[in-house]
Amino acid sequence: MYKSHTVGVVIPAYNEEGFIGDVIDSLPEFVDQVFVIDDCSTDDTWTEIKEYVDAEVQQAGVTGDSAEQIMVADGAGTTVSESQSFLDKRIVPVRHQTNGGRGAAVQTGYELALMSGMDAVAVLDGDGQMDPGILDKILDPVVDGEADYAKGNRLISRNHCAQMSNWRLFGNALLTMLTKIASGHWKMRDPQNGYTAISATALEQLSLTDLFDDYGFLNDILIHLDANGMTVQDVPMEALYGDESSGIRYGSFVPKLSMLLLSGYFWRLKRKYFGRD
């Protein structure tokens, strides 16, 4: 627990072989449950996850087949097994049978965290770009009641974004401006930052199945949060990059996301100011 709040961490993963085990292993001890969602990777990510879980089971001296912990989902919005015994474990591994996108993986993790009764749910990618050592800082605005949703911000200063290429900076700055307009969160920056935390109360008010499944999920959830009268707070963090490669291709991603933000902007105005129906 962290500050008397149970904490769940969702780790969406797609082709993160060589990274995912280290990310799980580096999580702080105060994390109550970890929901590792393999979005139908084409490399050995799932094998690495299973090997890690097997090792955890053996170390804990638990008898029985560790496969009992493995839940196979079929994409975003899946109704998980009626048997919730697998949620009794600290590490809950899940594999989508089809690739649904980063947003779909996060949605599955959110659903499981709500089923487990977590008070606050963080999201930390499986590629090692997000420092688990600052997880407490990401959680603080949520558990302290200062915001419904907290997210990292790598654009707070030149030092924080020193490792970002000029192309990344340009794309992120452009999407920041467009997302501010679409979401109404005018003090927010770095909307593509996936290091986030949200309260269970806020999650329960959102319709997860209505959110965008792919990388636009981060922008879409900001729109839905404002439409439901929820607050967002940025947390300064440094940009970290290693041998991993980004799945975002800004040349095609920016135009596609711009259309999503345009439709989201009008949806938000209609819902917020002209009634919920």
Q: pLDDT digits over 136-158, tens only? A: 999 999 999 999 999 999 887 66
222 vs 182: CA distance, rounded Å: 9
Stated length of the chain: 277
pLDDT surpassing 80 at residue 106:
yes
Burial class from Cβ neighbours inside 10 Å (0-12, 13-18, 19+) for residue 137 reads middle
Q: Domain for residue 227, yes or no?
A: yes
CATH of the domain at 233: 3.90.550.10
Q: Domain for residue 11, yes or no?
A: yes
pTM of the model: 0.85
Q: Domain for residue 61, yes or no?
A: yes
Closest alpha carbon to 30 in 155, 176, 135, 178: 135
Q: What is the pLDDT of residue 61?
A: 60
Element (H, E) at 37: strand 33-38
236 vs 159: CA distance, rounded Å: 11
**Per-residue CA distances from 242 to 57, 163, 194, 197, 258 (Å):** 30, 10, 17, 24, 28
Average pLDDT of every residue of the chain: 84
Closest alpha carbon to 224 in 203, 239, 243, 241: 203
Q: Domain for residue 2, yes or no?
A: no
pLDDT tens digit sequence for 202-252:
999 998 888 988 778 999 999 999 999 999 999 999 866 555 455 556 566
Q: Domain for residue 150, yes or no?
A: yes
Q: Domain for residue 46, yes or no?
A: yes
Q: Domain for residue 1, yes or no?
A: no
Counted domains in the chain: 1
What is the domain extent for residue 101?
7-273
Burial class from Cβ neighbours inside 10 Å (0-12, 13-18, 19+) for residue 44 reads middle
